[in-house]
Structure 1
Amino acid sequence: MRKLVLAAAIGAAMVPTITLADETTDADDAGWTGTVEFGLAASRGNTDSETLRSRLGLATANERGKHEVGLAFLYGEQDGVESAYRYEAFGKSNLRLGDHHQLFGSARTERDHVAAYEYQSTLAFGYGNQVIQTDTTHLGFEIGPGYKWSKRQDVRIHENGAVVRGNMDFGHEFNESTSIYDTFLVEAGEDNTFARNDIGVRVKMTESMALKAGVEMRHNTDALPGRHKTDTLTTVNVTYDF
């Protein structure tokens, strides 16, 4: 529980810190924007559990392309025992070839103390197509080759090799306050295929703050006995745009 309280305090402290960084960015006119998310769920009764999730994303864009970086963190306890612990770092750069076409390079690494794989790290590059880009709707696809470093949980088995990375990003605004999103990532290799789908709805409360409810599903096609191939996480987060 002490770890959870400490992590929650750090996550809550991120908002004023990031706001100050945004004021500096405006002065330098660097063009960076971003979002920080923070969610905490707790249950009491037959089972006592707490789950903390936080996420930070930064992006900048110009006529030549777009750059994105971010961090994500998940920590859970059940009856005082650690039940989930995962952190992830990611980044991507796009080079525009036209109104709808681009080249991309991406990097992602995650470490998970509970899931089928202890860690997975991927470098990839390839081609992207922005199929739909309007004021209210966007739909884009990416595909390309990459290389992955990974290790199964609890055993000294490293599975390093080539993968094919695919990504889909969809979003639609119903009105000024309500929007939906769906992102799907797949990293397909000879030993294992990792797939993640994140879908949900976002409702603005102010110009900068919103409530976001979503479901994230993570699947590994290969898992040792006793480990689930699919993990599902349902969250309600507060988000802050800057």
Structure 2
Amino acid sequence: MRKFLLATAIGAVMAPGILHANELPDVDADAEGTHWSGNGELGLALSRGNTDSQTLLGRLSLAREDERWKHEAGLAFQYGQQDDIDSAYRYEAFGKTGLRLGERSRLSGSARTERDHFAAYEYQSTAAFSYGHDAVKTEATHLDFEIGPGYRWSKLQGVRVHENGGVVRGLMDFGHRFNDSTSVYDTLLVEAGRDNTFARNEAGVQVRMSDALALKAGVEVRHNTDVLPGIHRTDTLTTVNVSYGF
């Protein structure tokens, strides 16, 4: 199963490039904007829901974009003590490659996997294809949408029942910069399937303290429609992080 998941995820990420590699002109690899950029975060979280705890969390994101391609990858973790007794953890890995069809449209292949010790699902892994459109694209504001089919592997916490099947993946990504130092963001991910619909919304504000350092405060809401008795459908996570861009 792990080999099948890995092969499917790699295929989802690489397929757009295989299909269209011969239809687009070459772009100079050293052209401006083709280098990788990144962002690292570290902070404390207050979690309420299935996990009531004070938690250490971190995130690493990488991105690269040129005239044809947009690549994204990253890791995220959350670790702490639940009720001063049990260790709680959550980690996630994700990747996406998008091929531009025009100035505001693209095809993307994406994959993500997460494991969570105390939430409704022990793990959820998804590979998907998506069509994306940049509804708003200005110097200060962006609003992007993606939608497409995918497949999900998942297992409820504490039971030996796997819920594997097709999903529809949707993504909304919004960001607005008020000035050189202050910006807001809101990202909504939905993976809807027959057994469960998973939704995650991350919203917050970022204030730059220097060219590289920023203070970031946000709220993450996670929701699963299918949970076992006694388990909350919704978890919220309030965070204050120090962010470093490179």
Answer whether TM exceeds 0.5 for this pair: yes
Amino acid at match of 1:112: D
Instruction: Report the counterpart of residue 97 of structure 1 in structure 2.
Output: 101
Within 2, Cα distance between the matches of 1:141 and 1:221?
Answer: 23
Instruction: Report the counterpart of residue 202 of structure 1 in structure 2.
Output: 206
Amino acid at match of 1:239: S
| Count of residue correspondences | 210
Superposition CA RMSD, Å: 1.7
Kindly indicate whether residue 216 of structure 2 is the aligned counterpart of residue 212 of structure 1: yes
Kept in 2, the 8 Å contact 1:184–1:196? The answer is yes
What do the CA deviations read for 1:147-174 (whole angstroms, capped 9, x no partner)? 0000000000100000000000000000
Within 2, Cα distance between the matches of 1:30 and 1:102?
Answer: 17
Match for 1:179 among 170, 177, 183? Answer: 183
Query: What's the TM-score once normalised by structure 1's chain length?
Result: 0.84
Query: What's the TM-score once normalised by structure 2's chain length?
Result: 0.82
Within 2, Cα distance between the matches of 1:230 and 1:107?
Answer: 23
Match for 2:79 among 62, 72, 75? Answer: 75
Within 2, Cα distance between the matches of 1:138 and 1:182?
Answer: 11
Instruction: Report the counterpart of residue 195 of structure 2 in structure 1.
Output: 191
Kept in 1, the 8 Å contact 2:223–2:233? The answer is yes
- Identity, in percent, stands at 69
SS at match of 1:156: coil
Within 1, Cα distance between the matches of 2:68 and 2:191?
Answer: 27
Within 1, Cα distance between the matches of 2:174 and 2:83?
Answer: 38
Structure 2: state its 5+ residue gaps.
1-29, 47-51
5 Å-filtered alignment, 1:17-32, equals 31-32=35-36
Runs (4 or more) in structure 1 with deviation over 2 Å come to none
Match for 1:121 among 115, 119, 125? Answer: 125
Kept in 2, the 8 Å contact 1:83–1:114? The answer is no
Structure 1: state its 5+ residue gaps.
1-25, 43-47
Kept in 2, the 8 Å contact 1:212–1:239? The answer is yes
Q: Give 1:80 shift.
A: 3.0
Q: Give 1:49 shift.
A: 5.2
Q: Give 1:123 shift.
A: 0.2
Kindly indicate whether residue 137 of structure 2 is the aligned counterpart of residue 133 of structure 1: yes
